[in-house]
Amino acid sequence: MNAIADRYRRHANAFEHKIAAVRPEQWANQSPCAAWDARDVVDHIVSMHGVMLRPVDRTPSPAPSVKEDPLAAFRAVRADVEAVLDDPALAGADCDTPNGRMSVEQQIDQVVSDDLVLHGWDLARATGQDETIPADDVARLWAGTAALPAEVMEKLRTPGAYGPGVEVFGPEVMVPDDASLQDRLLGLIGRDPAR
């Protein structure tokens, strides 16, 4: 395995653990994403995994819907993405993305693997779980996000810039100067760590 596949598995393990810990009555809880409840967060993650399969002409394996069984739905698409990452020819294939041409594994790393971390925080916040993001993930995501050019950040904050109904980041939330790096990261991507 390589660093991207290892990172994906670590992120997927953490997200799967969070799904498994959600109690049935918590699925309708509001998430930090204004339009989504806890189940919608998982639905977004499952849908984006399906998007990652398109460049290699694959579709998600048959599975229950997120409405029927969020954990089974996630496990199925997770297995699909891991199969791509485990196949050097598929993982290394080039694909066109909204951020330029890159390998399939790079797109998985930059999109769903990172999403598992950030939306894992959303799911944890919505359902009263531990919201701590591993320090190495916080540092890596902060370094990459804070270094983005202003025009890229503006596009990421513009609803619909990456497709109809797609909103990547919300408006920046200001946090105290002495806030933790995790809180600074969350504020930068439009989450309010204090709410």
CATH code that applies to domain 1-129: 1.20.120.450
Mean per-residue pLDDT of the chain: 95
DSSP 3-state of 186: helix
Q: Please state the φ and ψ torsions of residue 15, each to the nearest 5 degrees.
A: -70, -40
Percent of the chain scoring above 70 in pLDDT: 99
What confidence score (pLDDT) does residue 163 get? Answer: 79
What confidence score (pLDDT) does residue 63 get? Answer: 97
Cα–Cα distance between 124 and 10 in angstroms, integer?
16
Cα–Cα distance between 29 and 180 in angstroms, integer?
26
H-helix or E-strand containing 97? strand 94-97
* For residues 59-67, average pLDDT: 97
Percent of the chain scoring above 90 in pLDDT: 90
What confidence score (pLDDT) does residue 195 get? Answer: 83
DSSP 3-state of 28: coil
Nearest to 40 by CA among 13, 77, 16, 65: 65
- Its pTM stands at 0.95
* For residues 149-168, average pLDDT: 87
Structural domain boundaries in the chain: 1-129, 132-195
Task: Please give the residue that has the higher pLDDT: either 50 or 161.
Answer: 50
- Per residue in 97-132, pLDDT (tens digit) is 888 899 999 999 999 999 999 999 999 999 999 999
What confidence score (pLDDT) does residue 193 get? Answer: 95
What confidence score (pLDDT) does residue 1 get? Answer: 54
- Per residue in 89-98, pLDDT (tens digit) is 999 999 998 8
